[in-house]
Structure 1
């Protein structure tokens, strides 16, 4: 049977190739969309962990992806937070999303650097109101002293630091307020606490019990980062389901068309097999084995191409956060394989149902 299956596929190389490519495209679609969306989440979490904060205080209306909400907290709140027992550092930060979807961080340099010091590769901290600190990815092809445009204003690169500390571009908090028309405002406060996590619940209660502070959200770093997931972000889960659904339909239709056409072309062959005593199960098995072989080849090609695409994009666009999620590799394999078998069920049933006399008389 295996020789018959391989012979049938080799006899129609173009159709077999197109079918395998369709399955490969199905796998690439699934892995690419999850690599982009989940990669963004993982990259965001990694950069937030690199800030060095233990807790976060922000307005209750702030979006989980900071930068998508306006600055709604006064920098004077920092004086209140600094007096809370066991709070070592309270760093105000204003995060603004640029037109290119970059997160621009407006920071009070001293307090933000005290959370976890920058690791400088060259240059120094802010020397003027329109200085900017950039990470090594953003600084590709640039050097200290060069100018870059941020929020429609020219800034001088004063320092280049290692990536992974929240954003990729950092400007003075006061300058951010002037450029956005919201002086003395911040998006949130990052807190560094004494002996975390022992005192975090006590700190939370103390903050919320302070007059005027019950309007803010107080969360630990773990609570905040756990809220950033596809399950907590409905639009992301919907996007993944839509792409997976489209990919499944593509694989199903191409396999269905390929197997159905193959069955119609091999009517006499099926008649001969049945006249020689082949059972319905034998005929169904042939069609499904052909489908399984095509699906396996397409899946292998799709997974390999996805990892190759990831390597190329990471090399050319390191800020993209295009990271293939291993659990989704297995999901993509299962979805593509099951979709292919479903697409072959009716052609297999059609082949098994042929009357051997009619099939032998078919021209």
Structure 2
């Protein structure tokens, strides 16, 4: 039976190749969509955790995506946070979307307070922000956008001087002075999120309890649990989107297989007649067609996985 199936597939190589490629594309689509979405969520969560804070405070009903934190909060909240027991430092941060050369989230930071919370940047080139128009970029964004230290980079309709390139993993890809970003977006004395560092990590639950008493209704999250929250089940509509794409890919793949089976039967009416004359029963013929389709599926799955790995390397 195995040799019979392989000979049938080799007898019509073009049709076999098209069927295998059709299945491979659907498999690669599923693998890439699921892998890309999961990878982006994990990478984003690791960058947020890499800031080094223990707790973060967001406006009420905020998303776990910091860029969707809702209306900015008064920056004076930071003074109240500093008065809490076990709080070592507080870093107010203003977040803003940018579609310049792709979708990015810009962090407007106060240099000293952000350094106190995060431990400071690891500079690969250049220096820290000194002036109001200085900008820091991480190494991944610099490579992707071809940003050079010392050059001018236009962002939010404003020309920034690229002061330094830092190692990735501190929340965002682009950093500008907090006061400058407040002026550009019209959010004076506002912050989107407050990163809080405790005197010791084990004091985070006590600090969270104090914050809940002072800021009822605000969104308070421990950073150590942030990675576990960044899953498709916690992202609105992401899970249904992935399921819909998988269902679409499976449906198209089934149609391809059914078409392959149909054409195999139509093209081989004479061959089927010869097999029947030699004593082959209906069960043998049906098993041969189904086995051939299963072989095409297996070849398509293997090719799809290989195609997804090839796309990742590109």
Q: How does 1:129-144 map to 2 (within 5 A)?
A: 129-140=132-143, 141-144=146-149
The two structures have a TM-score, normalised by structure 1, of 0.81
Which of 158, 180, 188 is the equivalent residue of 2:193? 188
Is residue 254 of structure 1 aligned with residue 256 of structure 2? Answer: yes
Is residue 215 of structure 1 aligned with residue 217 of structure 2? Answer: yes
Separation of aligned partners in 2, 1:87 and 1:187: 19
Which of 125, 131, 135 is the equivalent residue of 2:128? 125
- How far is the alpha carbon of 1:302 from its aligned partner? 1.0
- How far is the alpha carbon of 1:267 from its aligned partner? 2.2
| Contact 1:92-1:188 within 8 A present in 2 as well | yes
- How far is the alpha carbon of 1:139 from its aligned partner? 2.2
Q: How does 1:218-297 map to 2 (within 5 A)?
A: 218-297=220-299
Q: Secondary structure at the match of 1:155?
A: strand
The two structures have a TM-score, normalised by structure 2, of 0.93
What count of residue pairs does the alignment treat as equivalent?
309
- How far is the alpha carbon of 1:71 from its aligned partner? 4.2
Separation of aligned partners in 2, 1:62 and 1:168: 21
Q: 2:111 is matched with which residue?
A: 109
| Contact 1:68-1:97 within 8 A present in 2 as well | no
| Contact 2:89-2:113 within 8 A present in 1 as well | yes
Mean alpha-carbon deviation: is it higher for 139-148 or for 40-49?
139-148
Separation of aligned partners in 2, 1:5 and 1:114: 68
- How far is the alpha carbon of 1:285 from its aligned partner? 2.1
Q: 2:210 is matched with which residue?
A: 206
| Contact 2:138-2:168 within 8 A present in 1 as well | yes
C-alpha distance 40-74 of structure 1, shift in aligned 2 (>3 A): same
- How far is the alpha carbon of 1:70 from its aligned partner? 4.0
Q: Secondary structure at the match of 2:154?
A: strand
- How far is the alpha carbon of 1:36 from its aligned partner? 2.6
Mean alpha-carbon deviation: is it higher for 175-184 or for 261-270?
261-270
| Contact 1:132-1:169 within 8 A present in 2 as well | yes
Which of 128, 147, 152 is the equivalent residue of 1:147? 152
Please give the per-residue CA displacement for 1:5-52, whole angstroms capped at 9, x wherever unaligned: 111111111111110011101111111222332222111012112111
Q: How does 1:85-96 map to 2 (within 5 A)?
A: 85-96=85-96
Q: Secondary structure at the match of 2:171?
A: coil
| Contact 2:42-2:230 within 8 A present in 1 as well | no
- Structure 2 stretches lacking a partner, 5+ long: none
- How far is the alpha carbon of 1:201 from its aligned partner? 2.0
Q: 2:308 is matched with which residue?
A: 306
- Structure 1 stretches lacking a partner, 5+ long: 313-363
Please give the per-residue CA displacement for 1:103-131, whole angstroms capped at 9, x wherever unaligned: 10001111112222200012111111110
